Structures are given as C-alpha cells and as structure tokens.
Amino acid sequence: MRPRQPAKKPHLPNSPFRAAPVPDIPDFAVNDRVTHDRHGLGSVVRITGDRIHVKFGENTVSVAMSSSKIHPL
C-alpha cells in the first residue's frame, strides 16, 4: 500500500499570498547532454510524449520531462 499524498491546496485569487511558481519544463532534443541527480551524465536517445529516454553508460532510463532530477547541460 502506498502512502497517501497530500492534496494540492487551491490558490484563491483574493489571497494575500502568492501562488507557488510553476517550474519551467526545459526543452530536450535527441543527442542533448543531461545530468541526473542519481544516474549522473547521460545523453537523450529518444523522446516519447512527456518522457525522455536517456542513456547513462550501459543503461537507458525513461524519465519524465517534468522531473526535477534531470537537468540539461
């Protein structure tokens, strides 16, 4: 059983606090060099929908483009 995730609280337009900023999703292209927090340096091999397939040495890993763990170089 997976632990429950807290629901995202709605931001009211008349709130005195700012809404949390939405992170920009970087653009990736095939053969782009990237770095991943766990896997290290890699190269984009394929892009399918909202996921990129990155080759890290001998392993190829599928990562969501919106992941905060992957960064373009």
What's the token pair of residue 43?
Answer: 């190269």
- How many whole angstroms separate alpha carbon 44 and alpha carbon 73? 11
Coil, strand or helix at 1: coil
For residue 1, the model assigns a pLDDT of: 60
- What's residue 4's pLDDT? 72
Average pLDDT along the chain, 73 residues, taken 10 residues at a time: 71 76 82 94 94 95 90 91
Per-domain residue ranges for the chain? Answer: 33-67
Structure tokens at 19: 């809404």
Q: 3-state class of 50 per DSSP?
A: coil
Amino acid identity of residue 25, one-letter, is I
